[in-house]
Structure formats: structure tokens, C-alpha cells
Amino acid sequence: QLETLEQEEQECLELTPHPTEKRTHIVSHEHGMTVTRTLQEGGAEPRCHSFSYGRARLRARLLEGANLLLLRVLARRHTMPPGLVFPAINSEGDLCTFSY
């Protein structure tokens, strides 16, 4: 019965002369989830893109942070059921599946 209410992810690449920063913010709300992605390359203005998923499309999906937590629990228990697959949302906010 666990549910992700909010997730924040940030990636920074310090590449000269064009450092890049990518942020992904996912927040749960009454009707589903909203994903906001921001990309800033070098000194350019940040580009922002938001989109939402309804509750029906998100049913039983794992976010990337929940996926990492699940992997740690399975590793701690020293068990991995064969063919374990979960519907998920990746760090880009795309619907996908995670296979273990």
C-alpha cells in the first residue's frame, strides 16, 4: 500500500564549455501525477516541459526512487524471484517496465 507522493531527481554534467543540468520533479495529486522536466545547457535559458498521467494509467506503477528501494530490499533478503517485472515510470517520466 505504499505510494510515492513526490520525487525529485537532479543530474549535473560538468562538461566544459557547456555544463548541463537536468531536473525531474514528479508529484502525485488527486487525479494522477504531474511530471515536470527542466533542462539547462550552458548559459542558455532553462527549458521546461510538464505533462500529466491519470490515475488509471499509473495503477501499480513504480517510480524510479521506489524501484531503487525495492532493489535494496530484494538484495538485503538475498532473493530475486525469476522473471520479476513491474510497470514503471523512468527518470524521463516515460511509462515503461523494469525487469529484474
So where are the chain's domains?
A: 6-99
Spatial neighbors of 25 by CB under 8 A, at least 6 apart, are 6, 7, 8, 9, 35, 36, 37, 38
**Model-level pTM?**
0.67
State pLDDT tens for residues 67-79.
778 888 888 888 8
State pLDDT tens for residues 21-65.
989 888 988 888 898 989 999 888 999 999 888 888 777 777 777
